[in-house]
Amino acid sequence: MVLIIGVVVVCVLVGKNPTILSHIDFNNSSASQENSPSNYSAKGNLDSIGCDMISGWSYDPDSEKDLTAVQIYYDGPAGSGRFLVDAWPHIVRQDVNSAFGIIGVHGFEISTPSIIKDGKPHTIYAYAVDSGVGHTLTELIGSPQNLQCAKNQSVTLPDPQKICPNIKTDSDWICVSGLGWLPLEHPILQQYSKQDLPTPNVITVYAKGVFAGGAWPHMVVMLGSKKLGEWDVKSSNWAEYQVVVNNKVNANLKVYFTNDYYNKKTGEDRNLFVDLINLSGRTYYSKSPKVQVSGHYISGKGCSSGILQTNELDCNNSYFEYPTKTGDKTSFGSEVSSWTANLLDAVF
C-alpha cells in the first residue's frame, strides 16, 4: 500500500481484518474542500481496490480521535452513482498517525461486495464523511479506481448460526433469522411468504473504556426495565458490542455505566465512552442534541444530567438515553438518518 500525503509517499503494510459495517445516509452527497474557517474537511486515501478487498484510511482534523466513516459508490460519484458500502476505520495505522501527528484508529479494510463481481467493469468512488454540520463528503485521494471481477456463478448460504447483522430497507431482500440476508428470488424462500419470515432488531454499541482500580468499565444495555445485554468494556479503543432482540423496540434504549471508580490520591478514574449505537441500520450518536445524558461529570457542578452532547459517562449508574422508540426518526440531531446497505456477502 502507498500512503500519499502532499508530495510525501510512504510505503506501508496493512493488516487484514475485514468487518461487516452499516451504511449511514447523511442526506448530503456534495463534496467539500473545507466547510468553514473553524471546520476542516475530512480526508483520507483509497489505497487499493480488488476483487477480494477494498482498503484505505480516513480521518477528520476536527475530531481526529474519533472514527471517520467512508462512503463508497460505484458507476458514478456520490449523488449520481449507486451506493456500495460504508467503511468504518477499525485498524490502527501508525503511518497515518505519525504523518499527521495524531492518534486513534483510521485504517479500513472491507471485503469487496459481491454485487460488483458480475463480470462487468465498474468505477469505484470513495468519500470521507465530515463530522461537522451537514456531514459533507470529501473524495479520497486515489478515488476513483476501476475494477472488473469475474462473475461468481455459485450461491453459498451463510453460516446457519449467523444472525442478520443489519436491517436493510429494501423490498427485494429480506433478513432471515439464522440465515442472514437473502434476495426474495432465492430458492430457499419460495416455500415461505414474506410475512412468515422473522426480522430481528440488531443493536450494536460502539464503546471504549478506561481501566482503573483493577477493572474495566461495565456496560449494560436496557430497553425499559428489560436488560438486553451487558459487557465489561475491555478496550481503550473503539469496539463493537452487539445484541439481538426479536421484538419491536417500543421504548428508548439506554446504555448504563454501572461500576464507576475514582481514586483521589492516584488520580485513577474509570470511565465509559459510547460513540454511538446502531439499531437495525439507524445510527444514534451520543453527542446528538436529542440524546439525554445522566451522570456526566462537569467541573464545579459534579455529576450532571440533561442534553450535554458528550460521549463520556463518569458516574456510577450513569447512562445515555437514545430516542429509539418506534416512530422516532431522529439521528444525529434532527438531520441524520441511517439505513443499512451492506449485505452478507455470501447471499448476493
Fold of 155-348: Lipoxygenase-1 (2.60.60)
Lowest mean pLDDT among 75-79, 143-147, 172-176, 282-286: 172-176
Selected residue with higher pLDDT from 345 and 200: 200
Mean pLDDT of 248-272: 92
pLDDT at 17 over 70: no
Distance of CA 263 to the CA centre of its chain: 34
- Kindly state the cell numbers that stand for 120: 462487468
* Assigned fold of 2-151: Immunoglobulin-like (2.60.40)
Per-residue model confidence (pLDDT) at position 112: 85
Between residues 248 and 204, the one the model is more confident about:
204
* Winning range, highest mean pLDDT, from 86-100, 155-169, 257-271, 275-289: 257-271
Residue 81 CA: distances (Å) to CA of 84, 108, 125, 144, 268? 9, 22, 9, 12, 50
pLDDT at 160 over 60: no
Range scoring the smallest mean pLDDT among 1-15, 103-117, 162-176: 1-15
| Residue 176 DSSP SS3 | strand
Burial class for 31, CB neighbours closer than 10 Å (0-12, 13-18, 19+): middle
Position 161, amino acid: Q
pLDDT digit string, tens, across residues 134-151? 678 899 999 999 999 887
Considering only 189-198, 252-261, 299-308, which range has the smallest mean pLDDT?
189-198
Of how many residues is the chain composed?
348
Grid cell locating 333:
440531531
- The mean per-residue pLDDT over the stretch 190-194 comes to 49
Residues 97-103, mean pLDDT to the nearest whole number: 89
**Among candidates 216, 175, 212, 181, which has minimal Cα distance to 197?**
175
Instruction: Please state the domain extents for the chain.
Output: 2-151, 155-348
Band the pLDDT of 187: cuts 50, 70, 90.
low
CA 154 to chain centre: 30
Of the chain, the percentage scoring pLDDT greater than 70 comes to 67
Express each pLDDT in 206-248 by its tens digit. 999 999 999 999 999 998 888 888 999 999 998 888 887 766 7
User: So what's the pLDDT on residue 294?
Assistant: 95
What is this structure's pTM? Answer: 0.44
User: What's the pLDDT at 18?
Assistant: 32
DSSP class per residue in 83-109: EEEEE---B--HHHHHHHT--S--EEE
